[in-house]
Amino acid sequence: MKRLVISLALLFVAVCAHAQLFDFSSNVHRYEMGLNFGQMAFDTQYARFGMGMNMLAWGVYLDFNKTDAQHKYDGKFSDTQWNDDEFFNISLGYQIPILSWLRIMPLLGYAQTNEGITDASTINIKNGEDTSTVYHTYTVTPGSRVHYFNFGGGISIQPLKWFSINFAFTRYAVYGGFAIDMDAIALSN
C-alpha cells in the first residue's frame, strides 16, 4: 500500500511537471486581505458564530478566526457570574491554481477552546480614538484550555481580478469570506 501511494504521488508530480497542469506563476504578486465569517468550534459543545481575517501572499494563505466569551459585552450590570467559553483557530495553507479563477487550499492549523467565568459585577471601559467599548471581565478557568490539531481544505473563487471569495472546511471550523487583492488595486490606480 505504501509503495502504491508513493508511486501515485510521483506519477502525479511527473504529469504536473510535464503538462504544466497547475500554473503556479499566477500566485506571484497576489497579496490579498479579507474577512471570514462562519461556524467556529464546529462539532464541539462550544459551537457558535465567529469571525476573523485572512491574508494571502504569493500563494501562502493564513487565516485567524475567533469567538469571544458570549456575555463579555453584555449590557447588564449585576452580581451574576456567567459560565462562558471562547474559541480561536489559526490555519496555514497554500493555494493551488486549478483554473485562472479557481484555487484549492489544503489547510493545517491549531485550534483552542477555553472555559471561563464572565463577571457581570465588573465594568471595564476601553477608550479608542472615536469610540469606547464597555465589557465585563472574563477569566479563563485553570485547566479548561483544550488544544486541537486542526486540518481541512478550502476553495477560492476569483470572479473579478481584484476580489475573491473563500470557503474553508476544517475539523473545528466551517467558514467563508472574501478578500481584496491589494496588488491589483494598486496597479489599477
Q: What is the pLDDT of residues 77-129, one digit of tens each?
A: 777 777 778 899 999 999 998 888 899 999 999 999 888 777 777 766 777 77
With pLDDT > 90 as the criterion, what percentage of the chain qualifies? 37
- Say what the pLDDT of residue 166 is: 95
- Say what the pLDDT of residue 109 is: 95
- Say what the pLDDT of residue 71 is: 65
Domain span holding position 110: 27-188
Coil/strand/helix, residue 165: strand
Eight-class DSSP state of 187? H
Q: How far is CA 141 from CA 28, 178, 183, in A?
A: 45, 35, 44
Distance CA 71, CA 84 (A): 7
Residue 5 belongs to some domain of the structure: no
Q: How far is CA 35 from the centre of its chain?
A: 9
- Say what the pLDDT of residue 108 is: 96
Residue 107 belongs to some domain of the structure: yes
Residue 1 belongs to some domain of the structure: no
Question: pTM of the full predicted structure?
Answer: 0.75
Total of domains in the chain: 1
- Say what the pLDDT of residue 73 is: 67
Checking 128-133 for CB contacts under 8 A at 24+ apart, the result is 133/73
Q: For the chain, what is the mean pLDDT?
A: 81
Residue 63 belongs to some domain of the structure: yes
| pLDDT reading at 28 higher than 70 | yes
Residue 133 belongs to some domain of the structure: yes
Pick from 9-18, 117-126, 127-136, 149-158: least confident:
9-18
Mean pLDDT of 22-30: 72
Task: List the end-to-end C-alpha distance of the chain, in Å, as a whole number.
Answer: 54
Residue 12 belongs to some domain of the structure: no
| pLDDT reading at 146 higher than 80 | yes
Grid cell digits, residue 36? 471570514
DSSP H helical ranges for the chain: 2-19, 182-188
- Say what the pLDDT of residue 72 is: 66
Residue 10 belongs to some domain of the structure: no
Grid cell digits, residue 147? 488544544
* CA torsion angle 167 168 169 170 (round to 10): -170
The radius of gyration computed from the CA coordinates of the chain, to the nearest angstrom, equals 21
Grid cell digits, residue 25? 506563476
Residue 4 belongs to some domain of the structure: no
> For residue 126, what is the domain's CATH number?
2.40.160.20
Strands (E), 22-162: 31-40, 48-57, 60-67, 81-94, 96-99, 102-127, 132-140, 146-160
